[in-house]
Amino acid sequence: MDHPILIVGAGQAGWQVAESLRQEGYSGPLLLIGEEAFIPYNRPPLSKKWMIDRPDPASLAIRGPDALRRRQIDLQLNTRVVAIDARAREVVLADGARLPYAGLALCTGVRLRELPVPGAQLRGVFGLRTIHDAQQIGDYLDRCAARNDRVVVIGGGFIGLEVAATATKRGLKVTVLEGLGRLMSRVVAPIVSEAAARVHADHGVELVFNAQITEISGVDAEVRAVRTADGIEYPAGCVIVGIGVHPEDRLAAAAGLDCDRGIIVDGFSRTSDPHIVAAGDCTARRRPDGSLLRLESVHNAIEQGKSAASALLGREREFTATPWFWSDQYDMKLQMVGLSHGYDQVITRGDVDKPAFSAFYYRQGRLIAVDSLSRIQDHMAARKLLDNKLSPTVEQAADVNFELPSLLRG
């Protein structure tokens, strides 16, 4: 093969496609193209302690430069792909260069949803996706500490709450403005939201629900406050907006690939173009029942990356593992496995008040998902149970003395 396999997007999924291609025996040229200045890196630490200490970004690398050289994976950073010519099988770079490909993997990730209110562009208002974002937010948190300014987080989802916990641990006073009636409402049951809310309140975080943001105001183009529809002003030396993302499917859509809020792929990470695969946050996976599934997670990026590499080599490796996710807030480890959407029963296991418990989600009597707060033994057992399509009875789930792994030996 003369032309290389190109991977557009040097994040978790892009790295995995490259790694898996080599593991599967592909020995031809392989080029990973990234917009940022950094070798593929782990994003989850950005919202946590990393933001405070801001050590060398090399400490975040998924693999070091030597590892890429050892695998003969070429890396072209600071490079924007502006178009895909699917008919000619070329990608077009911002400088006009055209790179031909034998196979193409799109791992373009997401872009942040922006807050559509006046003042969202003021200095001191940030979204969080990249090392650069985390460095800037960290600098502003230092300033807030020096000036005794409050921090306002807009959005009570994973990212917002992780930043709230990090800023609190940094010694700052934090307000979280959530648009809906409870935290992480898109993903977890009310009992989990309530437990998380208690943990944040116990750490001194001010939680405001059903907050409709109308304006961010500033002085000299720098943020000073966030105003809500009820007329309340929340003073802020720094604002972090975490209100979700858009899958980055514009390149694919412009090239004529099927997209619907994400690049549509099948269970083997194949797109509607036979020479193009896609993996990670940018995808929408068509399930056997025809519905589309969007997942934003490290695990999804890795598993889709593996199947995308196989697909580029003409092999079929279906993604069947149960999705899992995690979030760290203070000392609370929130781990989720499965998709709880459509549950009709929730069983709790453990100490809800502490909190150290798991929520077992059932639909029509079968286990579909488990959220665990500082109960990693439940989470690990649940991953295996769900992977093996095993369902404990509700009595077994509720009984902390019942050994869930015993069902696997059954």
Partner 1 sequence: MPQVVFIEPDGRRVAVQAKDGQSAMRAAVDQGVAGIEAECGGQCLCATCHCYVAGPWQEKLPPPSADEQVMLENVVAPRLPGSRLSCQIVLNPSLDGLTLTVPPRQS
Which residues of the shown chain bind partner 1 in the complex (CB under 8 A)? 42, 44-45, 58-64, 66-68, 70-71, 298-299, 302, 326, 328, 333, 335, 376-377, 380, 383-384, 405
For β-strands 151-154 and 238-241, DSSP reports them as parallel
Closest to partner 1 by CB, 85 or 318: 318
* CB-based contacts of 7, cutoff 8 Å, min separation 6: 14, 17, 18, 30, 31, 32, 33, 104, 105, 107
CB of 66 vs partner 1, minimal distance in Å = 5
CB of 243 vs partner 1, minimal distance in Å = 25
Q: What is the torsional sign of CA 13, 17, 18, 24? A: positive
CB of 276 vs partner 1, minimal distance in Å = 25
CB of 376 vs partner 1, minimal distance in Å = 5
CB of 70 vs partner 1, minimal distance in Å = 5
Q: What share of the chain is helix, strand, coil (3-state, %, to 5)?
A: 30, 30, 45
Closest to partner 1 by CB, 15 or 234: 15
Closest to partner 1 by CB, 173 or 375: 375
Please check whether residue 163 is in contact with residue 137, taking contact to mean a CB–CB distance below 8 angstroms: yes
Closest to partner 1 by CB, 266 or 303: 303
Please check whether residue 187 is in contact with residue 324, taking contact to mean a CB–CB distance below 8 angstroms: no
Tell me the β-bridge partners of 219: 222
CB of 208 vs partner 1, minimal distance in Å = 30
CB of 335 vs partner 1, minimal distance in Å = 7
Q: At what angle do helices 158-169 and 131-147 cross, to 10 degrees?
A: 40
- 400-403-407 Cα angle (round to 5): 135
CB of 141 vs partner 1, minimal distance in Å = 22
Closest to partner 1 by CB, 120 or 380: 380
Closest to partner 1 by CB, 72 or 121: 72
Closest to partner 1 by CB, 271 or 374: 374
CB of 20 vs partner 1, minimal distance in Å = 11
CA-CA distances (angstroms) from residue 271 to 23, 43, 236, 274?
Answer: 22, 25, 44, 7
Closest to partner 1 by CB, 40 or 247: 40
Q: What length is written for the chain?
A: 410
Range list of H helices, 203-284: 250-254
Task: Please tell me the distance from the alpha carbon of residue 339 to that of residue 368, in angstroms, as a whole number.
Answer: 6
Closest to partner 1 by CB, 167 or 298: 298
Chain mean position to CA 126: 17
Please check whether residue 101 is in contact with residue 28, taking contact to mean a CB–CB distance below 8 angstroms: no
CB of 306 vs partner 1, minimal distance in Å = 9
Task: Please tell me the distance from the alpha carbon of residue 179 to that of residue 101, in angstroms, as a whole number.
Answer: 45
Closest to partner 1 by CB, 62 or 251: 62
What DSSP string describes 110-129?
EEEPPP-STTTTSBTEE---
φ, ψ for residue 23 (rounded to 5)? -65, -30
Phi and psi based region of residue 13 (left: phi greater than 0; alpha: psi -120 to 50; beta: remaining): alpha
Closest to partner 1 by CB, 61 or 145: 61
Q: ω into residue 355 within 30 of 0, thus cis?
A: yes
